[in-house]
Amino acid sequence: MTKKLIFFDIDGTLVDHEKKIPPSTKQAIELLQEDGHELVIATGRGPFMLKPVSEALNIESYVCFNGSYAVYNGEVVYSHPIDPARLAELSEITLKNKHPLVYMTPEGMRSSTHQTAYVEEENEPLKKRLPPLDPEYHLGKEIYQCLLYCKEEDESCYKENFPELGFIRWHLFGSDILPPGGSKAKGIQALIEKAGVMSEDVYAFGDGINDLEMLRYVYHSVAMGNASDEVKQAARYVTKDVTEDGIMYGLRMLGLLKE
């Protein structure tokens, strides 16, 4: 079989709802690697957050920050940070509004503030998840993605003032902020070109809103059974839920693994 290049999202795809890798998924990945296929992680996470999954599955190539940073076999092949001047403006506004802004680099992440505009008790878990405080962390660094903590109705002012940035809401009180044109598809395109693989030999598995561009871009795209209807409609194929051996089932459905 011709060598394939296969991209996998992490949360809800490679790992289940309890953040564990299903045994069938680990077996499927090992079988793909034995057959000589190249596997890539495509995630909204940063490189510093990949170690548990990448080491468990022995995957060294990745597209991170929802496509803003891509590494192929240890080499950075795509780098698209947020403009520092615009980021400084955004930081100033979020601080005034008491909306924490988390700056993300390949090495780590820090929060602009630990003060929040929220008073609802239900938001306390989010406060506890904020990374260490460092309002100047972004200075002199390339920031590839930010996490903005605010209600959806409060996000509109940021979208109006920063129309070039991408906003992907992943929680009632949280959104990813991407550089202009940022999407998993951009990083994937650069990695495909570097790998020298034909488009018909590229596959992708995902389940979230941040996977939409990836699933629309990759010809052999597969939505997990636990994905929303919008995500399923963007994919060419739909497999089973991640908890129902969805990765193994999908790979067999595509003929990449034998029954």
Strand order in the sheet with 75-79: 75-79, 69-72, 61-64, 38-42, 5-8, 202-206, 220-223, 237-238
CA pseudo-torsion sign 81, 83, 85, 86? negative
Here the tokens at position 86 are: 């615009």
Please give the Cα distance from 88 to 210 (Å, whole number): 25
Phi, psi of 147 (to 5 degrees): -110, 125
Nearest to 182 by CA among 145, 140, 218: 145
CA pseudo-torsion sign 169, 143, 195, 23? negative
* Contact by Cβ (8 Å): 70, 62: yes
Nearest to 226 by CA among 2, 3, 22: 22
Q: Which residues form the catalytic set?
A: 9
- What residues are paired with 174 via a beta bridge? 171
- The 10 Å Cβ neighbour count of residue 218 is 27
